[in-house]
Structure 1
Amino acid sequence: MAQLPILAITAGDPAGAGPEITARAFANDSVYEMCRPVVIGDPCMMQQALVCTGLNDQIRIHVIEDVKDAVYEKSIMNVYDMHLISDPSEIELGKISKEAGEAAFQYVVKAIQLAMADEVDGTITNAISKEAINLAGHHYSGHTEIYADYTGTKRYCMMLAHNDFRVVHVSTHVSLREACDRCKKERILDVIEMADEVCRDLGIKEPKVAVAGLNPHCGEHGMFGREEIEEIEPAIAEAKEKGIQAIGPCPPDTVFSQAIGGWYDIVVCMYHDQGHIPTKVQGFVYDRERQQWNAVAGINITLGLPIIRVSVDHGTAFDHAGKGDANELSLLNSIEYGAKMALSRLEKRG
């Protein structure tokens, strides 16, 4: 186990299902086989989550103030005590609040600090509420922007993945109108390069990078828009000159089916929903008869950072908080991806 990467796992919004999802993940022995995990949160909330999920007899919390004090054994959950919540009654489950937002934000900041100081080899994030962290006075539109700010990163993008289906985004948390304005050659080229790089980090020697168009039918030679002609095609051409197998522009209504079929290793998407919708159609499976989710799978990775950040690809699940039935599959997927990336980076360092 000493050779496994140390991963900091944030508890997410304490009013959401993040603590319970974390508890359920720790009940899976594979977590300890993939990494040495440390939860960043408050022990009282994690203890409440263990009771709520019925796992308090199987998993014991080990409170730490320093990563060096962690004990990596199955059935032990190391919790890095943030001293933000002393009693679970301070947080109303399922409700947005600035108190919960402040805690969730500080969990993320601490994980970043530990990774930047090389005390952990990667970070895994549970969901936060954008509204709650903004109520707490931290004006960010999501994890990606927090990580970029606190690591001083200017060139970054979001990647979503479900098994070997992968997408990256030219723009994310902006209006659709603004997203169209952000489809510029320089930015598209940056994202193509980051897409190629992450595939190589994952062991793909010659990645095939599909680049989706912005407009219907990729603009139909300018009839439905000229972004493909003026911005996307020039970016693809320059990427090819750099030795990247960039393919496109590809019509968005077919490129994802082709990626699922193995034609491409990753798809560069022009805006948030263009990439999110096909990924969640793949990973989120709802049982009509039982009226519950059978699977909530998929992960979110921020590319371009000096540290590893992998996240669940779902929200805070406020409606599941306190019920103990939230699905942990996305978190397990995130830990697996994060551990794989961390091992790759550790091997490159020698």
Structure 2
Amino acid sequence: MNPRLPIIAITLGDPSGIGPEIIIQTLQKWSFPAIPLVIGNRKVLNQAEEVTKTSISWQKFSESISNPGPYLLDCSNVDLSSFRWGEVSSRSGQSSFDYIQTAIQLALKGKVDAVVTAPISKEALHLAAVPFIGHTEIFKELTKSSVALTMFQLDQLRVFFLTRHLSLLEAVKEVKKEKIYKFLLEMDQYLNSMGLFSARIAVAALNPHGGENGLLGQEEIKEINPAIEESRKLGIDVKGIYPADSVFWFARQGRFDAVLSLYHDQGHIATKCMDFYGTVSVTLGLPFIRTSPDHGTAFDIAGQGKANHRSMVESCRWAVEYAFAYRDFIKRTSGKKESNSD
């Protein structure tokens, strides 16, 4: 049993986007067994409280957190005289990067147990000359992690992606036995890290109807099935191949613990069509768990109190759920690596 509640850092995201207001709305009805620490700007949060007609009793952050919170680490990096809701700017890009850096530093020191990130603007990061295109790249580099793997979570449905930001033509070229085999091993390991042992993994087909025994494509026969068979020899509970038009639904009903999506849109479309605001992005491979709403800054409605905060609520939920199990797993596996190297 852990003697304390996990501390969850929540970064403000781009201050000109909807991050501040969805954070405020989430904190207003906070009921998770965890202590929230917001890393952001007090003046912007005050404005977010006004537009959402809420009031938060902030406690000042110190490194000896004990009360339930919520706590605020005020970075004081927004000039309200030039601040505008819904405006893409280098100032907001730099501010959002500052929040992420601070959260990572605290997590690496063990001061927080997980990080939840509100949406940022890739354009604003670029204007600020931040040398990263997005959250995943920032976290991977600043934590010196060799892997930063994205998983989508929707209720008990977990989706991993063999390929992500590739054209469909290039993604199909990556559907190879060795790549799939190695990825299935990684999937099983990361599911273990979240407390899911002997996880049931389903593999989505690349071609319609699972390829129809080669009539609609050879990839299932030549690449995907052989990878599945090899992973089963190691005791991994991999099932498939399942047609992509049904496997995600079956997984959400509880038949599987996770699904391997072979390309970006295959898994994205499935989860977002089932529940756009319930879908959460989880980054695995870091020294700590990181979650995020799977939507953007929504500049067009920022500062109007219209934003739906449920994805932020779900992001916090899963950060709390996984925080201790994931950290314990990282400590155990790091210890094994050190022992093996000796």
Q: Same fold (TM over 0.5)?
A: yes
Does the residue aligned with 2:221 lie in a helix, a strand or coil? helix
- TM-score normalized by the length of structure 2: 0.88
Q: 1:197 to 1:81 in 2, by over 3 A?
A: same
Contact (CA 8 Å) 1:4, 1:343: kept in 2 or not? no
| Deviations 1:195-225, CA, capped at 9 Å, x for gaps | 3234334443431100112222333444444
Corresponding pairs, count: 330
Question: Shift of the alpha carbon at 1:298?
Answer: 1.9
The residue that corresponds to 1:319 in the other structure is 300
Say if 1:248 and 1:115 are closer, same or farther in 2 by CA, change over 3 A.
Answer: same
Q: Secondary structure at the match of 2:297?
A: coil
3-state SS of paired residue (2:58): strand
- What is aligned with 1:112? 104
Number of the residue aligned with 1:344: 325
Task: State the Cα distance separating 1:147 from its structure 2 match.
Answer: 1.6
> For the Cα contact (< 8 Å) 1:157–1:191, is it kept in 2?
no
1-side partners of 2:65 and 2:178: how far apart?
Answer: 44
Q: 1:72 aligns with which of 67, 70, 74?
A: 67
Q: 1:84 to 1:268 in 2, by over 3 A?
A: same
Distance 2:184 2:130 in 1: 31
* Corresponding residue SS for 1:79: strand
- The answer to whether the 8 Å contact 2:140/2:146 transfers is yes
Within 5 Å, which residues of 2 pair with 1:7-22? 7-22=8-23
CA-CA distance at 1:256 after TM superposition = 1.5
Q: In structure 2, how many angstroms separate the alpha carbons of the residues matched to 1:110 and 1:174? A: 31
Unaligned runs of 5+ in 2: 333-342
2:75 to 82, 101, 121: 82
What residue is the counterpart of 2:45 in the other structure? Answer: 46
1:239, CA displacement in angstroms? 1.6
- Output the CA distance in 2 between the equivalents of 1:88 and 1:297: 33
CA apart distance, 1:165: 1.4
Secondary structure of the structure 2 residue equivalent to 1:88: coil
What's 1:291 paired with?
none
State whether residues 71 and 78 of structure 1, in contact with CA within 8 Å, keep that contact through their aligned partners in structure 2: no
Deviations 1:215-244 (A, max 9, x none): 223334444443333332232122212211
Distance (whole Å) between structure 2 residues aligned to residue 141 and residue 225 of structure 1: 35
Closer/same/farther in 2, CA of residues 137 and 181 from structure 1, 3 Å limit: farther
Equivalent residue for 2:164, pick from 158, 163, 172: 172
The code of the aligned residue for 2:30 comes to: D
The alpha-carbon distance between structure 1 residues 26 and 253, as it changes in their structure 2 partners (threshold 3 A), is same
Residues 194 and 326 of structure 2 are in contact (CA less than 8 Å); yes or no, is this contact kept in structure 1? Answer: no
Local SS of the residue matching 1:161: strand
Instruction: Deviation per CA, 1:274-308: give whole Å up to 9, x if none.
Output: 11111111223xxxxxxxxxxx2221101222221
SS of 2:150's partner is strand
1:1-350 pair list within 5 angstroms: 3-30=4-31, 33-56=32-55, 59-64=56-61, 67-68=62-63, 70=65, 72-73=67-68, 76-85=69-78, 87-284=79-276, 296-345=277-326
- Percent of matched pairs sharing the same residue: 39
Question: What's the offset of the Cα at 1:19?
Answer: 0.5
TM-score computed with the length of structure 1 as normaliser: 0.86
Residues of 2 paired with 1:221 and 1:145: CA distance?
39
Determine the C-alpha separation between the residues in 1 that align with 2:67 and 2:170: 46
Q: Deviations over 1:170-203 (max 9, x none)?
A: 1222322332233333432343233323433444
Deviates more, 1:200-209 or 1:111-120: 200-209
CA contact (8 A) 2:35 2:70 kept: no
CA distance in 2, matches of 1:34, 1:70: 14
Task: Name the amino acid aligned to 2:105.
Answer: Q
**Alignment CA distance shift 1:246-1:71 (3 Å):** same
For 1:177, the aligned partner's letter is L
- Partner SS, residue 338 of structure 1: helix
| Residue identity opposite 1:227 in structure 2 | E
Deviations 1:248-290 (A, max 9, x none): 2221122122212322111000111111111111223xxxxxx
Q: Are residues 231 and 98 of structure 1, via their aligned partners in 2, closer, same or farther at CA, if it must alter by over 3 Å?
A: farther
CA RMSD across the alignment: 2.3
Contact in 2 for aligned 1:17/1:317 (Cα 8 Å): yes
Shift of 1:122: 0.8
